[in-house]
Amino acid sequence: MLRTRGNVLPNIPVPAALMRTVNMEESVYNKLIYQEDPNGEEPSVHSNQEKPQVSFSMVRPASSWTSHKVLGITLAVLAAVLLAVDIGLGVYYNNLTDESWAVMSISREVAALNAAYEAASKRRADAQMRLTQANRQHQVIKWQVEHQTKRSSDYKMQADKIQTAITVLKSHIPMIREGCRHCLPGWTLINSACYFLSFSDPHARSSWQEAREFCKKQDSDLAVLDSAEKQLKINQLINLHQDPLRSILQSGFWIGLRDVDTEGVWKWLDGTRLNEGYWNDGEPNNAGDEDCAATYPRNNPFKGWNDAPCSHHLKWICEMSAS
């Protein structure tokens, strides 16, 4: 079948055989055209006389063209609409895609945040647990410290008590030692020495020399009161046995101290010079001629001594070592 690009082709001489064929085809074509004609009108455009002149012009009826045009325009409009819809759908899909991405991104962030929150919660719980444990340990250590402090305080109190007990026990040592020593009947033990004071005969009094001889007969000698402790204890004894009826002049006790060699130079029996004396106020005054020392009962034990004439008759004190 011949096809043309234009609507009207130039007339070309055609051989008879071909013409017959063309006519046949023309009739077929016309028949087809007529059949397509809705009005069903008999063909009037081309008569049989005009048929030898073949025209390839495919001129279609005006109504058909218009309908095709309308159809084309409609199709074009439809295509445009479809294109617009497509574009719209594309844009919508794009937007949907963007939103979907945003949603996915947010979901991922939410998931990450949830995971971080859970991890942080777990760390917080762990830290809370460690804190609780640390607090518990702190309580235990605090209790231990308090307990140790109390124990330390108790130990200190015990140590103080023990120290006091030791001091008391130590103070008993001399007493225990004294207990092991003993003196003859009628003699008094003072600081590891035995003393005899002539109390038994209230009227017995002698000169310093006679008194010394008495002592020597007893394997002793007149007392050497060369310490404050001895002076104190002897003073206590003579105060206890003091006869209130006896005058102070006669209430003295000879001791082993003299300044018979050199006036004012007082010496004990063994020749040792007096270091510290327990003289009464104003003594020794060597009133007359007083070379022998005696101790008297006094309220102040360290003001008991007086120098008196050696020939005076007084009581006396003997001293010997404890056995």
Q: Which stretch binds ligand MMA (CB under 6 A): 31-39, 42-50, 201-209, 305-313?
A: 305-313
Q: Phi, psi at residue 41, to the nearest 5°?
A: -80, 150
- CA neighbor of 222 nearest in space, from 262, 267, 257: 257
Return the residues of window 265-304 that contact ligand MMA according to CB under 6 A.
Answer: 283, 285, 287, 290
Minimum CB distance to ligand MMA smaller for 259 or for 319? 259
Question: In sequence order, what are the residues at sequence separation of 6 or more whose Cβ sits closer than 8 angstroms to the Cβ of residue 230?
Answer: 190, 191, 193, 223
Please give the size of the binding site for ligand MMA, defined by CB under 6 A. Answer: 9
CB 322 within 8 A of CB 295: no
Looking at 248, 263, 265, 321, which residue binds ligand MMA (CB under 6 A)? 248
Judged by CB, which is closer to Ca ion: 235, or 306? Answer: 306
CB of 153 or CB of 285, closer to ligand MMA: 285
Closer to Ca ion by Cβ: residue 259 or 290: 290
Question: Residue 111 is encoded by which pair of tokens?
Answer: 């998931």
Cβ partners under 8 Å of residue 54, min gap 6: 11, 12, 14, 19, 22, 26
Q: Which does 249 bind (CB under 5 to 8 A by kind): Ca ion, ligand MMA, none?
A: ligand MMA
Residue 311 binds to ligand MMA (criterion: CB under 6 A):
no
From the CB of 319, what's the least distance to ligand MMA, in Å?
23
Contact set with Ca ion (CB under 5 A): 285, 287, 290, 306-307
Of 220, 231, 228, nearest to 198 (Cα)?
220
CA 321 centroid distance within chain: 68
Which residues have CB under 8 Å from 208's CB, separation 6+? 222, 254, 258, 292, 310, 311, 312, 314, 316
Q: How far is the CB of 215 from Ca ion (least distance, A)?
A: 22
- The residue (of 220 and 258) whose beta carbon lies closer to Ca ion is 258
Say which entry of ligand MMA, Ca ion, none residue 248 contacts (CB below 5 to 8 A, set by partner kind). Answer: ligand MMA
DSSP 164-198: HHHHHHHHHHHHHHHHH----TT-EEETTEEEEET
Question: Rounded CA gap, 76 and 284, in Å?
Answer: 163
Which of 193, 255, 308, 320 forms a contact with ligand MMA (CB under 6 A)? 308
Toward ligand MMA, which CB reaches closer, 308 or 317?
A: 308
Summarize as ranges the residues that interact with ligand MMA (CB under 6 A).
248-249, 283, 285, 287, 290, 306-308
